[in-house]
């Protein structure tokens, strides 16, 4: 039963192909669309539309899913979230409800908690 539960969580954490999920935090509202076929564990074709609320700035970026690696060091295991690159800005949305935005110098522009809807 444990394996089935883990498998369900892993598969449900990945938004099916062409389906969007929304993430909301105090300073950001994001729509993430996974464009890979349903059932693929990892995906390098994920779209982001991010509204940075205080600035009113909208960012569009392409990204990928993030996973831990299995023991073999190659196979993706546990789903962590999504990563997007926009110029020299790196945006990460984690399944746990955290958003991070880092500038080109590696410093945090934003790091806060939110929720998936």
Output the pTM of the full model: 0.80
Distances (CA, A) of 117 to 29, 38, 72: 11, 19, 34
Q: What is the DSSP letter of 96?
A: T
Q: What is the largest CA-CA distance in the chain?
A: 47
Instruction: Report pLDDT for 104.
Output: 81
Domain map of the chain by residue range?
2-116
More confident residue, 6 or 51: 51
Q: Are strands 46-52 and 98-102 parallel, antiparallel or unpaired?
A: unpaired
User: What is the separation of C-alpha 4 from the centre of its chain, rounded to a whole number of angstroms?
Assistant: 23
Helix (H), strand (E) at residue 65: strand 57-69
pLDDT digits (tens, 9 = 90+) for 9-59: 444 444 444 789 999 999 999 999 999 998 888 999 999 999 999 889 999
């Amino acid at each position: 039963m444990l394996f089935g539960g883990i498998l369900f969580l892993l598969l449900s954490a990945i938004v099916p192909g062409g389906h969007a999920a929304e993430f909301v935090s105090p300073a950001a509202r994001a729509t993430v669309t996974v464009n890979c076929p349903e059932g693929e564990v990892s995906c390098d074709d994920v779209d982001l539309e991010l509204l940075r609320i205080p600035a009113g700035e909208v960012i569009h970026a392409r990204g990928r899913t993030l996973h831990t690696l299995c023991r073999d060091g190659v196979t993706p295991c546990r789903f962590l979230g999504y990563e997007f690159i926009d110029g020299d800005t790196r945006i990460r949305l984690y399944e746990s409800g955290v958003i991070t935005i880092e500038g080109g110098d590696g410093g945090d522009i934003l790091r806060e908690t939110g929720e998936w809807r």
